[in-house]
Every structure is written in structure tokens, then in C-alpha cells.
Amino acid sequence: MLESKANHKPKLNRRQAFQAAASDLDATFVASKRSSGDEVHLEHGPWKVILDTYVESTGQTSVTYTRARALYVAKEDFTLRISRRNVFTRIAELFGFYGLLVGDQELERKYTIKSSSAPRGRSLMTDRGLRELIMVQPSLRLEIRRISWGKRRKRGDGVRTVTVQTTGVVTEPDQLASYVLLVAHTLDQLVRIGAAFEDPVAEDRTYALPRRV
């Protein structure tokens, strides 16, 4: 028996999906002349989370990514990367290079975690809400890292970024919204563990990391 067409949601294009995600989040949809430049902006506390797509050239080909990101003022030089396990992960483990264990076997089977500070990384990942937002995704890469060298010259070494991204153009509003919420929740948890200031990143000043006493 054929399923009723009414049971199928209409397939959205990129712009429609971004507009729907903005509506779901009560965020701002920022239209560009071309839909590939559209963005969603969510004001979350002192931070702005931006959802967009970008293209990265690999030489002969190019790859499109969907991402959500936000800048924050760091209290310390803390980095973390969560990425989907693959064949290279298993090869590295054969040579004794293991990711960070955080006490969640389901998460560890799906993703590998690397951090500049094991205690800080584990403390961050104790938050159940953060782990759940990661696990509902089919695939993603979450990074807490320094901004590019060019941006550090403008903003200083004390500014960091939280970025969640995946390959391709995502046109599922729920998935897009969850990327934005994951970045927002990560920012909250960085404040909780003492790795971030709860301050906005001002455009007209530069930031240095606090000196360790």
C-alpha cells in the first residue's frame, strides 16, 4: 500500500531551511543577495551564534560545509575537538594514541575526543545536555580552538571560537537549529568550568589571555 503524500514533508531548499531554523530558534534570519550567503544569528547571553555555509578548496576540488560558530573571551588556552571515529582513528589506537575518555561509552564509540587539558575536557563533557546534543546528530565536528592568525592580529590571542560543522548543505531545520543550540550550550559550559568569561567580544578592542599567577 502506497503511503499518502500528505505524510511526507516537502523538501526545503537552503534558504527555506535557514528561515525555518531561525523561526524555530526565535533568531534573526539575515538574507544575502545569493542564498548561499544567508545566515542565522542567535543572540545567546553575551554571545552571537552564527549559522552559515562555507566552501573550502582542497586544490582540485572544493567541499561545502554547514556550520554554527561563536566567538568568546577565553580565561585560558583550552582547546577541544570532537569528531566522528573513522579508519584513521582505529589505526592511531593500534599505535597507542587514544582519545579522551569521558565515561560515556556510547559517545566514545561514535566520536573521538581530543583536548589540550584532560581534566578540563572531562569536566566539560560531564554535562548530560551537551552529550545529548552531540549524540542526536548523524555526524559532526565540534571544535573549541584559537581563531586564525589573521583574526588574532585584530582581536588578540584571548579570543577563541566554538564551531560545530558537517560536510554538505544541511536543509533539515531541526538539525540546523540543533547545531546552533549545541554551540550556545557549549559556551554556557565553558563558563561553568572556568574556561571562558561571560562577556561579549567587542569589535573595538583586543584581548590577551590572563597571566597565570
Full 3-state SS string of 156-180:
CCCEEEEEEEEECCCCCHHHHHHHH
Taking 80 as the threshold, does the pLDDT of residue 120 lie above it? Answer: yes
The answer to whether residues 187 and 62 touch, using CB atoms and an 8 Å cutoff, is no
What residues have CB less than 8 Å from 3, skipping those under 6 apart?
none
Q: Which domains does the chain have, with CATH numbers?
A: 12-81+129-192 (3.30.1460)
Question: Is the model's pLDDT at 87 over the cut of 80?
Answer: no
Rounded CA separation 193/184 (Å): 15
Intra-chain end-to-end CA distance of the chain, in Å: 71
Using a pLDDT cut of 90, give the percent of the chain over it: 70
Report the mean per-residue pLDDT for the chain. Answer: 89
* pTM for this prediction: 0.89
Name the grid cell of 205.
Answer: 578592542
Which three three-digit cell numbers place residue 20?
A: 525555518
Would residue 194 be called left, alpha or beta, if left means φ above 0 and alpha means ψ between -120 and 50 degrees?
A: left
Asked if residues 76 and 213 have their Cβ atoms less than 8 Å apart, the reply is: no
pLDDT digits (tens, 9 = 90+) for 33-82: 988 899 999 999 999 999 999 999 878 889 999 999 999 999 999 999 99
57 Cβ contact list (under 8 Å, min separation 6): none
Quickly state the pLDDT bin for 1 (edges 50, 70, 90).
very low
Contact between 133 and 182 (Cβ < 8 Å):
yes
